[in-house]
Amino acid sequence: MVSRISLLIRKTIIYVIAVLILIIVLFPIYWLISSSFKTRIEITSIPPTFLFYPTLSNMVEILTREAYIRGLMNSLVVCSCSLVMGIILGVPAAYAIARFDFGHKRDLMFWFLSMRFLPPVAIIIPLYYIWVRLGLYDTYVALIITYSVISLPLTILLMVQYFKAVPIEIEEASQVDGCSRLQTFYKIALPNVLPTLISTGSLIFILLWNEFFIAFALTQHNLTLPVTVAAFATISWEIPWGQVCAAASFLMIPPLVLTAIFRKALISLFLPTEQVKGR
């Protein structure tokens, strides 16, 4: 009897902690999203408004503003171009590392890995100077190429592992059947890694979409969406909270949607593969 009660207490405590954790995780996100559907008076009212009749005026205001639409278009162009560039260049490179026979692979892989941990400031300051001198500062081209420092190494590092996981026998069989190495690559290996390529691409898209510092430093008029949103709210005390919340909420949509679809693959970005493979 006593043990049943203590078990019940234990269970209750565990549930209470779990709910508390959920509140800590979700409340800030909920608060931002819900504030974007409040009127100005509801946002600034004390006590805070928990129940309200949602208004779309902030969202409409944001989505009809030219600067925001421009930022959205810029972000879409820059992120997708850089992603495509990373894939077109990175996937063959990954295949070469996984399958071809040459030396210094380990050093090469480490060099790609080190790119992910290069401090952005170390390349942004000189690259700013380089782009200004080339007359490409504040252009799509500069930003797209600079973003490959994110997309390219990640594509290579991840795809090497996925290419290695393709059974080598089917590739050898195709070569016996007379396929060249190039044909083996795009007829046999590529279709086999396509699902992982899609999840890898989605995750890299999240990283590019969220990126702030590079875009902020390398643009002046062609702002990406995060930089546009940041510019809405200057440090002044008069922040148009409704619109800022709507803009910041809208900005969260792509990463949240892609995460919901590709949650498993997200973990593989950050852990050595041997650990993830077991899952």
Residues 116-175 that bind another protein (CB under 8 A): 117-130, 132, 145-146, 148-149, 152-153, 156
Tell me which H or E stretch contains 189. Answer: none
Distance (Å, whole) CA 94 – CA 225: 31
For residue 103, state whether it binds another protein (rule: CB under 8 A). no
Least Å from the CB of residue 4 to another protein: 18
Binding characters for another protein, 192-211, by CB under 8 A (x = yes)? --------------x--xx-
CA angle 212/213/218 to nearest 5° reads 105
Query: What part of residues 49-88 is at the interface with another protein (CB under 8 A)?
Result: none
Task: Identify the residue whose tokens are 């300051």.
Answer: 125
Sign (positive or negative) of CA dihedral 177, 183, 184, 188: negative
Q: List the helix and strand counts (H, then E) for the chain.
A: 15, 0
Considering the complex, what minimum distance in angstroms separates the CB of residue 68 from another protein? 13
Q: Which region among 56-64, 161-169, 178-186, 187-195 touches another protein (by CB under 8 A)?
A: 178-186
The reply on whether position 248 binds another protein by CB under 8 A is yes
State both tokens at 132: 């200004």
Question: Residue 195: CA atoms inside 13 Å, Cβ hemisphere, count?
Answer: 7
What minimum distance in Å lies between the beta carbon of 217 and another protein?
A: 6
Among 76, 77, 179, 252, binds another protein (CB under 8 A): 252
Q: How far is CA 130 from CA 45, 81, 123, 136, in A?
A: 49, 21, 10, 9
Q: Is 240 in the site for another protein (CB under 8 A)?
A: no
Least separation in angstroms between residue 100's CB and another protein is 5
**Sole binder of another protein in the list 9, 16, 60, 113 (CB under 8 A):** 113
